[in-house]
Amino acid sequence: MRGMASAQGEEAKKAAVDQFVEGLNLMEDAYVKLSKGKPFFGGDKIGYLDIAFGCFLAWLRVTEKTSGMKFLDEARTPHLAKWAVSFCADPAVKDVMPETEKLAEFAKLLAKFKPAPPK
């Protein structure tokens, strides 16, 4: 996701998006193999991999909002899309997951302090 945000020029942005989508496809395959039909990577309960990947979900939603692109969806990554819903709905997660709108505002604030790209 960082590569998409820092890419300069349309060609670089497209390459970064393609790389990100490729990574999500690998995650989709890994989820299918590891979960064995259960709701989380490790089975019936949230485990380390769920937490590690879940930490990026809020930022992924901000990226989707700001780019106008949908990365986790039923057509492209159906299992990960379902996993994301289950993960965010879990009692251990739902009260601590940042709201997309608030995080997007925070991202705008952070962008103000980002140095300008070299010319």
Residue 97 carries which DSSP code?
A: S
Instruction: Give whole-number Cα distances, 17 to 50, 70, 103, 112, in Å.
Output: 23, 11, 21, 23
The per-residue pLDDT for 117 is: 63
Residue 34 neighbours by CB distance under 10 Å = 14
The per-residue pLDDT for 108 is: 86
* Sequence-distant (≥ 6) Cβ neighbours of residue 70 within 8 angstroms: 64, 76
In the block, which residue shows the tokens 């395959």? Answer: 29
The per-residue pLDDT for 1 is: 77
The per-residue pLDDT for 19 is: 92
Question: Which residues of the chain register pLDDT less than 50?
Answer: none
Tokens coding 24: 């999500």
The per-residue pLDDT for 118 is: 63
Residue 43 carries which DSSP code?
A: B
The per-residue pLDDT for 37 is: 93
The per-residue pLDDT for 111 is: 81
CB 46, CB 92: distance < 8 Å: yes
Radius of gyration of the chain (CA): 16
